[in-house]
Amino acid sequence: MVTENRSYNAQKVIERLAKKVNRQMAGSLAACVHCGMCTQSCHYVLANPDDPTFAPAYKADRIRRLFKRHLDWTGRIIPWWVKAGSVYTDEELAELMDTVFGKCTNCRRCTLNCPMGVDLAVVNRMARGLLVSVGVMPEGVAVVSKDQWEIGNQMGVLKEDYLETLDWMSEELQQELKDPAVGIPIDKFDCEVVYSINPREVKYDPRSIADAAKIFHFAEENWTMPSEGWDMTNFGLFSGDDDLGGAVARRLYEKVEDLRGKKLVISECGHGYRSTRCEGPNWAKYDVPFEMESSVITMLRYIKEGRIKVDPSKNDISVTYHDSCNNARSCGMTEEPRELLSYVVKDFREMHPNRAENYCCTGGGGAMSMSEYTPRRLKSAVVKADQLRATGAGVVVTSCHNCVDGLTDLIRHYKLGMQVTQLVNLVANALVIEERVAIPVEIVPEVTAAGSLAGRKILVVDDEPDILTFFASVLADNGAEVIEAREGQEALLKARSEKPDLVTLDISMPGQDGGKVFEALRRDPDLALTPVCIITGRPELRRLIYDRPVPPPDGYLDKPVNEETLLLNVKKILKVV
């Protein structure tokens, strides 16, 4: 036992290290021969060739030194000889945090390229967990973890918002298919399929829920979605917090058991699939009694069983496929998506390298929630950008919501002009819908599609002129009357004088920040009920809103926001069908 003076947190980290390390990790920590073979497999290294601190072995050594110093006797006896070392101060913990959260996406590419079988990603996750256990983590990680612990999903989606969105999507489907029987069943017992989703679908991409519902409908599946425990994502995978991982997974498994569901189908999400299907049973120490399957496999099965028919010519686009790290390198799901694509598109262009050798989208490992590392992430994304560009495809398909965000961001950054989509969207679009005799139903939308925001007054508050102009023109083009404000005080004055139907509010603004403006709006008796949609590029700032003793906002969007997402959410908040 080393007895030097340590900060409280450093001492706790050292004490907990021994409990965290299992045999697999001990092997990985002891076995590295510093051969450097893994170096070129990491996208961070390829994008930063002059910075050796990005090398996987170097990053692993930041953790390995602690292991050697405290758990391995060579490091105890002659620490300097094997570069063993300890941590003493909170600054050193912060440095370690920078490495394990900011320089590695836990993509596991180096693992598969290490001749010794050293699993750096697992070791890195363990180190994240140690730091999280003493509260040392990027703020975004803290916020998202808190949401998942307390609200039950990692985007802080409230139950009523979730149910409302399912309702909304049901109505859209009924309208689209002119069939009142179509819908999203909730909490139905004894179903063949219980469908779980990523909260991102509720917030930014409800269309994918509707698309899945459409596919289940045409496959005549007996299915349901749970009213609670529906989030199949698991921030425990990213934060290294096995307790959170276990609690989240258990919540989902228990719900499926409550509903007596036969199979849990997990929507397209790499980390969600890995957490729920592969790691969850271990974290939760739960012997799952039902089957679990990715929706990719479900859709493929429907096609093969003839339960749905698809026509690839309906997707007249050139596509490539991006394998999510978690799907490919940790769950072995590489062939099913390709087979499914072969049914729903005609022009498929393979990306190289691919499958388990594919490069990370660079948004993995929770990187999208750690805005302090965004410049580093986008720099490392040059590797992915080159890969995408070389395919010559117009659309990149991926079976992961995290990758959708990561890819969208890098495509914008490197001006690749590509679209990102998921298999569920392509399958739904390729569905061959046979004429059915439907009972006519009259569904009266509140507002017609054209000029659907007509008559709505929206106050857009943002200090960035580009964003202000973008939001204002998108909303105005859709018929809304738009009022603009560039800072907090102006926003409050305009809100009071104009009484808008909705306020879109940027959080970080000079002077009075969005949090204060939000609270002022909520406390003003005339404006308390005015819907507010929070906009921010930094998810960790969410606490500026949610920690306030006033009712929560009506919507929440992470920048960058595209036109579709903006309209979708604005219409949802304003209940415009």
Partner 1 sequence: MSETLHFAEHRLQEMALLFMAIVYTLRIRWLLRFPAGKERQAPSGSRMITSKQGILNSWLNVAKPWAMESTRTRPFFYAQFVIFHLGVVASIGLSFVIPYLPSLLQSPLLVRLLQISIGAACLVGIIRMVRRLSVPVMRKISSPDDYFSLTLLTVWFFFAMLAVPNETAQGESILLIYFTLTAFFLIYVPFSKISHYLYYPFTRYYLGKTMARRGVLPQIRG
Q: Is 343 in the site for ligand SF4 (CB under 6 A)?
A: no
Which residues in the 90-149 window bind partner 1 by CB under 8 A?
111-119
Q: Of the candidates 211, 336, 462, 501, which one interacts with partner 1 according to CB under 8 A?
A: 336
Burial of 331 (C-beta count, 10 Å sphere; 0-12/13-18/19+): middle
Q: Using the rule CB under 6 A, which residue among 9, 41, 145, 294 binds ligand SF4?
A: 41
Beta-bridge partner residues of 421: 397
Q: Does 181 bind ligand SF4 (CB under 6 A)?
A: no
Residue 87 binds partner 1, judged by CB under 8 A: no
Query: Rounded to an integer, what is the distance from CA 485 to the centroid of its chain?
Result: 31
Residue with Cβ nearer partner 1 (26 or 382)? 26
31 makes contact with partner 1 (CB under 8 A):
yes
Least distance CB 31 / partner 1 (angstroms): 4
- When the beta carbons of 331 and 527 are compared against ligand SF4, the nearer one is 331
Q: Strand runs (DSSP E) across 443-531, as ranges?
A: 457-461, 481-485, 502-506
- Burial of residue 302, with CB atoms counted within 10 A of its CB: 0-12 exposed, 13-18 middle, 19 or more buried: buried
Q: Is residue 105 a contact residue for ligand SF4 (CB under 6 A)?
A: yes
Give the whole-angstrom CA distance, residue 444 versus residue 60. 60
Q: For residue 353, say if its preceding peptide bond is cis, omega within 30 degrees of 0.
A: yes
**Is residue 38 involved in binding ligand SF4 (CB under 6 A)?**
yes
Return all residues near 559 (Cβ < 8 A) that are at least 6 apart. 467, 535, 536, 537
Closest distance between ligand SF4 and the C-beta of residue 122, in Å? 9
Q: Does 81 bind partner 1 (CB under 8 A)?
A: yes
For position 357 contacting partner 1 by CB under 8 A, the verdict is yes
Q: Which stretch binds partner 1 (CB under 8 A): 79-87, 199-207, 215-223, 458-466?
A: 79-87
Residues 43-72 that bind partner 1 (CB under 8 A): 45, 50, 52-53, 55, 57-58, 61, 72
Rounded to an integer, what distance in angstroms lies between the CA atom of residue 505 and that of residue 102? 29
Which 3-state string (H, E, C) describes 199-232? HHHHHCCHHHHHHHHHHHHHCCCCEEECCCCCEC
Q: Does 33 bind ligand SF4 (CB under 6 A)?
A: yes
Report DSSP state, residue 113. G
88 exposed, middle or buried (CB, 10 Å; 0-12, 13-18, 19+)? Answer: middle
Nearer to ligand SF4, 2 or 35 (CB): 35
Integer Cα distance of 328 and 358 in angstroms:
8
State yes or no: residue 108 binds ligand SF4 (CB under 6 A): yes
Does 317 interact with partner 1 (rule: CB under 8 A)?
Answer: no
User: Can you tell me the distance from the alpha carbon of 210 to that of 233, in angstroms, rounded to the nearest whole number?
Assistant: 19
* CA–CA separation, 147 and 240 (whole Å): 16
Among 15, 74, 167, 181, the residue binding partner 1 under the rule CB under 8 A is 74
Pick between residue 160 and residue 287 the one whose CB is nearest to partner 1. 287
The residue (of 9 and 239) whose beta carbon lies closer to ligand SF4 is 239
Stretch that binds ligand SF4, among 110-118, 190-198, 334-342, 553-561 (CB under 6 A): 110-118
Query: Would you count residue 342 as binding partner 1 (CB under 8 A)?
Result: no
Alpha-carbon torsion 288, 295, 192, 234, what sign? positive
Q: Which of these ranges, 29-37, 140-148, 177-185, 560-568, lies near partner 1 under the rule CB under 8 A?
A: 29-37
The single residue among 331, 382, 476, 577 that binds partner 1, judged by CB under 8 A, is 331
Binding marks (x or -) toward partner 1, 523..552, rule CB under 8 A? ------------------------------
Diameter of the chain measured on Cα atoms = 82
Across the beta sheet with 395-398, the strand order is 347-348, 318-322, 395-398, 419-421
| Residue 155 in contact with ligand SF4, rule: CB under 6 A | no
Helix or strand (DSSP H, E) at 318:
strand 318-322
Q: Which of 26, 30, 112, 116 binds ligand SF4 (CB under 6 A)?
A: 116
Stretch that binds partner 1, among 77-85, 210-218, 459-467, 545-553 (CB under 8 A): 77-85
**Complex with partner 1: residue 113 or 374, whichever CB lies closer:** 113
| CB 409 within 8 Å of CB 177 | no
Which positions touch ligand SF4 (CB under 6 A)? 32-38, 41-42, 44, 56-57, 59, 104-110, 114-116, 118, 120-121
